[in-house]
Amino acid sequence: MALTPEARALVDLASAGFPRLGTEVRDAAAARRMLAARPAAPATPVPVAHVADRRIPAGIRVREYRPLPCASSAKSTALPAVVFYHGGGFVICDLDSHDRWCRTMANAIGAVVISVEYRQAPEHRFPAAAEDAYAALHWTADHADELRVDPARIAVAGDSAGGNLATVAAQASRDRTGPRPAFQLLMYPMLDPACATPSYRDNADGYFTTAAHLRWFWDQYLSSPADRTDPRANPLRADLAALPPALVITAEHDPLRDEGETYARRLRAAGVPARTHRAPAMFHGFMTMAAHLREAAAANSLAFTTLRAALHPR
């Protein structure tokens, strides 16, 4: 199915001003400067009860969002929490790029959202981001009383490279006997450095995030051939038993589509409840564009409803 007309217009607009990563632009710092210089449409911030930037002991910057009181049915008790990892290929984007989405998620779920600004490549190569992801999850559970959250109701979530970090943090928690997340939301996750699935071939170009972009991102993050098979970078190589239930959302016209769906199948084969939703006629990154795409609004509704059910059990 072709992109919807609305999606095609957004893809063309976004692609026109996006750096040609891996071809014309190979320097990560230059790419960040180019992205920062792009004009942004003014947007009214989504109101939440409280926002605070913190520097946690591991040296990682996080942003705490507390939902509006009406967003939670448990006003007088500890709230659940979602530890969120932004996308950007381990190289670009930050707390601000996903600020609106995190605000929306906090209110929709009735949960505290902890958005994580992990160290980025190539200045900090693998496993820096993976270690930061686990450290932020551990900090959230350790500081549950201070954050007024329930340590038994903490989920991990992320989009693209952040989806990788979310599930890698869950794996690390299992393997290191750390805090056990209650759920994992993986939005078009970036999981396989091989970049060799049919969806890479079919969606290599013309859908905003290209195969060349993704290969360049992996080259910035990983240092050696051994890194490409390390489960902390390539979750498809991991033992997937005893991980939290998952919702994996993919997009039809995304090079990453197949690896996300393969990961969900392997979770199910390992005995982990895992649901997959493929958004037809959509592209990588579409879920942050709910103001313009009804398909994004629908996918967000699915994600938020699923997370709310997992974190507010009856």
What pLDDT does residue 72 have?
A: 53
Per residue in 160-190, pLDDT (tens digit) is: 999 999 999 999 999 999 999 999 999 999 9
Can you give the pLDDT at residue 18? 86
Looking at residue 207, its pLDDT comes to 96
Quick one: DSSP state of residue 283?
A: E
**What integer pLDDT is reported at residue 309 of this predicted model?**
98
Give residue 37's pLDDT.
78
Q: Identify which of 93, 92, 94, 114 has the alpha carbon closest to the alpha carbon of residue 103.
A: 114
Measured over the CA atoms of residue 219, residue 224, residue 229 and residue 232, the dihedral's sign is: negative
| Domain coordinates in residue numbering, the chain | 5-15+48-311
For 90-111, the pLDDT digits (tens) are: 999 999 999 999 999 999 999 9
Smallest CA-to-CA distance from 85 within 102, 68, 100, 104 is with 102
Q: Which of 160, 173, 213, 253 is catalytic?
A: 160
Q: What is the pLDDT of residue 71?
A: 56
Establish whether 72 is a catalytic residue. no
Which segments in the chain show pLDDT lower than 70? 40-42, 71-76
- Between the CA of residue 221 and those of 28, 224, 240, what are the distances in Å? 11, 10, 23
Q: In the annotation, is 97 catalytic?
A: no
User: Per the residue annotation, which of 94, 150, 192, 254 is the catalytic one?
Assistant: 254
pTM equals 0.96
Active site residue 312: no
Write down the pLDDT at residue 31: 83
- Token pair recorded at residue 45: 């911030």
Instruction: Name the catalytic one among 138, 213, 253, 284.
Output: 284
CATH of 5-15+48-311, one of 3.40.1110.10, 3.30.565.10, 3.40.50.1820, 3.40.50.300: 3.40.50.1820
